[in-house]
Amino acid sequence: MVGKGKILKIYVGESDKWEGEPLYQELIKKFKEEGLAGAAAITGVEGFGLNSRIKSSHIWQLSEDLPIIIEVIDKAEKIDEIIPIVKEMVREGLVTVEEVEIITYNAEK
């Protein structure tokens, strides 16, 4: 898979849930079930969102709701197909899509 694609980025909190489970984990599972090329959940060390509360991993500012960014890259059609599911699951957060150029996507055999 090389050439034009899209990256879907989802910004949520670590404590966000979907059916009682961590939202970021459930999104990753859903992306795998739907056959997307790959996804990653990345924990932020500090950030703020719409409510303007700073959430931080600093030891003196223990936070139980660090920012999580989930990134998914695939062909445009696959990203477009998953967006309705993402909109249903992400009740609070930010979702963006950008065009990307996929340079290489391979694994050792």
Per-residue pLDDT of 83-96, as tens digits, reads 999 999 999 999 99
- Burial (CB count within 10 angstroms: exposed 0-12, middle 13-18, buried 19+), residue 81: middle
The letter for the amino acid at 54 is: I
Determine the pLDDT at residue 22.
96
Helix (H) or strand (E) holding 84: helix 76-89
The answer to whether the pTM exceeds 0.75 is: yes
pLDDT digits over 12-55, tens only? 998 899 999 999 999 999 999 999 999 999 998 777 766 656 55
Res. 58: pLDDT tops 70: no
Pick the CATH number of 3-102 from 1.10.3720.10, 3.40.50.2000, 2.40.50.140, 3.30.70.120: 3.30.70.120
Do the strands 46-47 and 55-56 form a parallel or antiparallel pair, or are they unpaired? antiparallel
